[in-house]
Structure 1
Amino acid sequence: MSESSRALDAVQAERWLSAPRYRRYLAVANGDHALAMETYSWNSRVAAAGIVDVGHLEIAVRNAYDRELSLRFPDWSVDERSSLFRLEQGVQRARARQRRRNQVSLSRVADAKRGLSSAPTHAEVVAALTFGFWANLTVAERTPTLWNPMLHRAFPRGTARARVHDLVARVVKFRNRLAHNEPVFSTRTGLEDRLTEVQELFELIDPDACAYVAGTSTLDAAIASCPIPGLTSATGLR
């Protein structure tokens, strides 16, 4: 083994990972340092495979939402005359909440444009928008302005806005945990539950793409290689 790939001792591992994170892995490994580090490496592989699959889902969500929004508001992300994020409806209090949401959306569109060319295309801006941007479009106060007239059409008839929003919000939170290589095991994260939510949302938004991604995913194989039996169940260790 080369010097660059030698094993770390406990002190080195704790300095690298931080004491709380290292001790989390040491706890599930029953104090076995080598097993703790093996589990950390496994977690990294699962997170990497998971972020790929969730990334595919994110693309499906943003493109489905954009299709529906663009039917009424073409090039809404680059058209300065677009009234998409000026839509308000209802009593004064409801309009005020919608107005605040619209300001958040406009701010995130502006953020997405930074780093792009001076005249970005609509497709470029849409691709640069964060998953959180799309999640913000299905909050309750936007039911009359975005969901009812447009976004519900991205889903099968009868799909409830609240269920969609809950799924998207949960998947966004899960994606962020994966991106930061947080532990995928615990009763708080419930890996099995989170993956079920990813699949449910994917099947709702684009069942064909969902089936394709399932056939190419490496996530199940990564999970199956867990060095500690039972660690990935929804009722696993904290």
Structure 2
Amino acid sequence: MSGQHDVQRRLLSEPRLKPYLDEAKDDLESAWSVYLWANELAGALHAQISLVEIAVRNSIERELRNWNISQSGTSEWTLKDQAKEPLYTLLKDDLNKARRAARRDANARATGHPRRGATPTHNDVVAQLMFGTWVKALQPLSKEEPEGRQKQLWADGLNAAFPGAGQSDAGRRKLGQQLDSIRRLRNRVAHHDNLLNVKVGHRLNEMLSLVHKANPTYPRLVMANSRVRKIAREDPRRTWTV
């Protein structure tokens, strides 16, 4: 084994390298080239999913704001004791965590920062909510959980966040499945899991279908400067001989 090969193995670790070696039939140079390609793909997917997350977050948040007002609440539904039922029960744990995180961020701001130690605003808390929160607004994260609250929110107005999905509960379920699929891909990317068997074209189309349901002009904006398709075409495995 060359010194370079030893360094490559040490850098990645054997467990992380193994899927790439398996794919390359134990040829380390080929495995390394696929790893570098997959790493580049992960970066492009991360950027792509970030735009999708922002589009989804803002679409859902706007309608939850409108819904909360319609229930005699305020627009600042993420602040303590402001969310009305069933939104409060559905997202209370997520909201508590997000408020704590927003307070930590406020206290960690540099001395002299104009908002150091400031009481978190609604927008501060929204920024701390996880991708899973927006999935949870549409469907439970666990199949064992009932989905009555999601059904109620959807019927009462959340469907307006995604006009292209239709107002039926079937539209909610389909949307929730798409969003959860993207959430799971995002987690794989974030945790440096291998993407060797990801059908990139299919997953990208899934993202575009989702944001199109929010606004038909979003896919073009989301794809601006996207490198996902280009990198997917550069998969080094395409040049391997069988």
> Which one is further off, 8-17 or 31-40?
8-17
Q: 1:21-60, aligned counterparts within 5 Å?
A: 21-60=16-55
Q: What is the Cα deviation at residue 87 of structure 1?
A: 2.2
Instruction: Please list every run of 5 or more consecutive structure 1 residues that lacks an aligned counterpart in the other structure.
Output: 1-6, 89-97, 232-238
The aligned residue for residue 71 of structure 1 is: 66
The aligned residue for residue 155 of structure 1 is: 162
The aligned residue for residue 105 of structure 2 is: 116
Q: Deviations along 1:186-212, whole A, 9 cap, x unmatched?
A: 2xx433332222121121123322212
Distance verdict in 2 for CA 1:112–1:163, change over 3 Å: farther
Of 9, 14, 35, which aligns to 1:14?
Answer: 9
Q: What is the Cα deviation at residue 142 of structure 1?
A: 1.9
User: How far, CA to CA, are the matches of 1:168 and 1:192 in structure 2?
Assistant: 16
The aligned residue for residue 202 of structure 1 is: 211
Q: What is the Cα deviation at residue 229 of structure 1?
A: 0.9
User: How far, CA to CA, are the matches of 1:40 and 1:33 in structure 2?
Assistant: 10
Of 180, 195, 201, which aligns to 1:169?
Answer: 180
Of 166, 189, 193, which aligns to 1:182?
Answer: 193
The aligned residue for residue 137 of structure 2 is: 137
User: Is residue 185–residue 191 contact of structure 1 (8 Å, CA) maintained in 2?
Assistant: no
Q: Deviations along 1:63-94, whole A, 9 cap, x unmatched?
A: 0011101113301112x34133x328xxxxxx
Q: What is the Cα deviation at residue 227 of structure 1?
A: 0.9
User: Is residue 102–residue 120 contact of structure 2 (8 Å, CA) maintained in 1?
Assistant: yes
User: Is residue 58–residue 131 contact of structure 1 (8 Å, CA) maintained in 2?
Assistant: yes
User: Is residue 99–residue 125 contact of structure 2 (8 Å, CA) maintained in 1?
Assistant: no
The aligned residue for residue 216 of structure 1 is: 225
The aligned residue for residue 92 of structure 2 is: 103
- Report sequence identity in percent: 27
User: How far, CA to CA, are the matches of 2:180 and 2:26 in structure 1?
Assistant: 35
User: Is residue 48–residue 226 contact of structure 2 (8 Å, CA) maintained in 1?
Assistant: yes
| Cα RMSD, aligned residues only | 2.4
User: Is residue 159–residue 172 contact of structure 2 (8 Å, CA) maintained in 1?
Assistant: yes
Q: What is the Cα deviation at residue 102 of structure 1?
A: 3.8
User: How far, CA to CA, are the matches of 2:192 and 2:216 in structure 1?
Assistant: 28
User: How far, CA to CA, are the matches of 2:235 and 2:26 in structure 1?
Assistant: 17
User: Is residue 41–residue 232 contact of structure 2 (8 Å, CA) maintained in 1?
Assistant: yes
User: How far, CA to CA, are the matches of 1:33 and 1:47 in structure 2?
Assistant: 21
User: How far, CA to CA, are the matches of 1:148 and 1:8 in structure 2?
Assistant: 63
Instruction: Please list every run of 5 or more consecutive structure 2 residues that lacks an aligned counterpart in the other structure.
Output: 69-74, 107-117, 140-146
User: Is residue 46–residue 223 contact of structure 1 (8 Å, CA) maintained in 2?
Assistant: yes
User: How far, CA to CA, are the matches of 1:115 and 1:192 in structure 2?
Assistant: 39
